[in-house]
């Protein structure tokens, strides 16, 4: 029924980035998504390229070696840089540090070391390339974050580390996840209590690792207060979902979208495209019990890969892209090896996705651009490239559309407006 300059399908990092950039650039944007996306699940560190296949120290230099089939080939180093610059600007209320020059090396919740190009400032002091002792502060009531495990694994990797566990529980709660603690940390009284419990138990030169739960309403207030009161570097370590850092990023991007005037509809399951020649003229979305058509000049597909349901593998081993029905490339055929034994192995099926050209368009379609984990040719969980690909391809898709719009007026008549 409606007609927009651009429809963005998906509200993960790729979709939010594309939509926000498009709306800021003057496009009338409609965002359709089945539900809230991966921002709430991942750490939202911008991992551009961490392994290729050896650990990467200078991500900007490693980009060139990834080959033509990789999503970064469509973006280029300049494109990744532009996306990072934009993102860091947007994230001013929750500042990010780092860039393409060097990877930081941050601990995960189990004490593995993960290379990331750009990270929230609240995590930056966790860069383990710098020496020094680490004290991991844990909360016994917080599920899935075990300070001793983290410290022991860091020690095993040669980094001097120990754990301190606190028995503080946010008021009245029996079962607390990271968001419950983050809300508690929004209250100055809880921060004071934590600081008071720690003061006597800290070594002189330690830096302090906390689970990434240091506040949600003000994304840096609790972190800077603890750093100042404890007079030591303080850093956050991403937790299992829900991801508080991801929720901070989601809130900022969502607000950005709102201010730029984009329409956002959740629970809209895009399941088909209306085509005319080499163009998609509209999408079909299932909303509740209804099927609604939305027309657009451009469509950005950012529905994610197998994990998010943007790609599906059926019981007959057929892979499909669920929203627009785009062809999926790279899925192993009958008789070919699909999966390997180890969870983190190089699974052939993992490379499957929608193949695009340098303009992020799938073959044969002029006005559809694909961004994020739907793209073929990457293995984000091995490369540590997931959010880097999502951010840079989402940003690039928007830039390409804005460029085309500037070069030529829309092919379809603008809608009547007051």
Partner 1 sequence: MAIEHDVLGDLMRGSLDHCVKCTICETFCPVSNVTPLFPGPKYVGPQAERFRVPDETSPDASLDYCSGCGVCTQVCPQGVHIAEINTQARAKLRERTGFRFRDRLVARPDVLGRLATPVAPVANWTLRNRLLRLVGERLVGLDHRAALPAYPGRTFQRWARRHTSPPGVRRVAYFHGCGANWSEPRTGEMTVELLEHLGCQVDVPRGQACCGLPAQSNGMFKLARRYVRRMARRLAPSARAGVDIVGTSTSCTLMLKREAREILGLDDDADLRLVSDHVYDICEYLVMLLDRGELRTDFGPLPMTVTYHAPCQQQGHGIGKPALDLMALVPGLRVIENDATCCGVAGTYGLKHEKYEIARDVGARLFGQIADAKPDLAVCDSETCRWHIEAFTGARTVHPIEILHRAAGLS
Q: What does the binding site for partner 1 look like in residue numbers (CB under 8 A)?
A: 1-3, 30, 33-37, 40-41, 172-175, 177, 179, 183, 241-242, 247, 255, 258, 263-269, 287-290, 308-309, 415-418
Q: Measuring CA to CA, how many Å separate 67 from each of 72, 76, 165, 386, 396?
A: 9, 11, 46, 17, 18
Contacts for 341-346 with beta carbons within 8 Å, 24 or more apart? 344/381, 344/382, 346/379, 346/382
What minimum distance in Å lies between the beta carbon of 223 and partner 1?
20
Q: φ, ψ for residue 50 (rounded to 5)?
A: -105, -30
CA of 40: how far to CAs of 44, 157, 242, 250, 314, in Å?
9, 29, 6, 8, 27
Nearer to partner 1, 266 or 406 (CB): 266
105/292 with CB nearer partner 1: 292
- Tokens 């008021």: give the residue: 171
Question: Burial letters for 91-127: b for 16+ Cβ neighbours within 10 Å, e otherwise?
Answer: beebebebbbebbbbbbebebebbbbbbbbbbbbbbb
- 3-state SS of 50-92 is CECCCECCCHHHHHHHHCCCCHHHHCHHHHHHHHHHHHHHHCC
Tell the smallest beta-carbon distance from residue 303 to partner 1 (Å).
10
For residue 110, the minimal CB distance to partner 1 (Å) is 19
Rounded to 10 deg, the angle between the 76-90 and 386-407 helix axes is 100
Cα 33 to Cα 10: distance, rounded to the nearest angstrom: 5
CB 373 within 8 A of CB 380: yes
SS3 392: helix
Distances (CA, A) of 348 to 333, 362, 389: 10, 21, 19
Nearer to partner 1, 30 or 280 (CB): 30
DSSP SS3 for 347: coil
Shortest Å, Cβ 213 to partner 1:
13
Please check whether residue 18 is in contact with residue 90, taking contact to mean a CB–CB distance below 8 angstroms: no
Pairing of strands 161-166, 279-287: unpaired
CB of 203 to partner 1, least distance (A): 34
- For the CB of residue 362, give the shortest distance to partner 1 in the complex, in Å: 23
H helix or E strand, kind and range, residue 266:
strand 263-266
Bridge partners (DSSP) of residue 145 are none
Compute the least distance from the CB of residue 235 to partner 1, in Å.
23
- Residue among 104 and 237 whose Cβ is closer to partner 1: 237
CB of 310 to partner 1, least distance (A): 10
Contact 267, 287 (CB under 8 A): yes
Contact between 102 and 58 (Cβ < 8 Å): yes
18 closest CA partner among 33, 34, 7, 3: 7
Q: How far is the CB of 283 from partner 1 (least distance, A)?
A: 14
* Residue 120 CB, nearest approach to partner 1 (Å): 18
């Amino acid at each position: 029924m409606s007609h927009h300059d651009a429809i963005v399908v998906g509200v993960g990092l790729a979709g939010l980035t594309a939509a926000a950039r498009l709306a800021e650039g003057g496009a009338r944007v409609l965002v359709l998504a089945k539900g809230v996306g991966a921002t709430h699940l991942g750490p939202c560190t911008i991992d551009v390229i961490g392994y290729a296949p050896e650990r990467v120290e200078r991500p900007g230099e490693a980009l060139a070696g990834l080959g033509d089939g990789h999503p970064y080939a469509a973006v280029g180093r300049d494109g990744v840089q532009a996306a990072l610059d934009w993102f860091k600007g947007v994230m001013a209320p929750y500042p990010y540090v780092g860039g393409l020059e060097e990877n930081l090396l941050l601990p995960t919740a189990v004490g593995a070391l993960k290379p990331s190009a750009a990270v929230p400032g609240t995590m930056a002091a966790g860069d383990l390339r710098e020496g020094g002792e680490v004290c991991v502060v844990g909360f016994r009531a917080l599920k899935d974050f075990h300070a001793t495990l983290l410290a022991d694994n860091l020690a095993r990797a040669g980094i001097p580390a120990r754990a301190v566990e606190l028995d503080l529980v946010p008021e009245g709660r029996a079962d607390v996840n990271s968001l419950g603690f983050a809300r508690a940390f929004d209250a100055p009284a809880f921060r004071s209590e934590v600081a008071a419990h720690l003061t006597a138990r800290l070594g002189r030169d330690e830096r302090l690792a906390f689970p990434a739960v240091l506040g949600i309403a003000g994304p840096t207030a609790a972190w800077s207060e603890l750093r100042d009161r404890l007079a030591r570097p303080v850093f956050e370590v991403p937790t299992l979902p829900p991801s508080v850092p991801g929720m901070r990023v989601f809130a900022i991007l969502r607000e950005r979208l709102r201010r730029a005037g984009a329409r956002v509809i959740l629970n809209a399951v895009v399941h088909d495209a209306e085509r005319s020649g080499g163009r998609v003229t509209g999408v079909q979305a299932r909303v509740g019990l209804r099927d609604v058509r939305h027309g657009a000049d451009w469509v950005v597909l950012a529905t994610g890969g197998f994990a998010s349901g943007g790609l599906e593998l059926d019981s007959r081993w057929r892979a499909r892209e669920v929203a627009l029905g785009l062809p999926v490339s790279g899925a192993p055929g009958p008789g070919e090896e699909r999966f390997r034994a180890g969870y983190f192995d190089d699974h052939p099926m993992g490379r499957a996705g929608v193949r695009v050209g340098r303009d992020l368009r799938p073959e044969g379609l002029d006005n559809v651009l694909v961004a994020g984990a739907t793209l073929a040719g990457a293995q984000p969980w091995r490369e540590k490239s997931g959010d880097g690909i999502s951010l840079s391809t989402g940003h690039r898709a928007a830039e390409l559309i804005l460029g085309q719009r500037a070069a030529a007026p829309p092919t379809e008549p603008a809608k009547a407006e007051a």
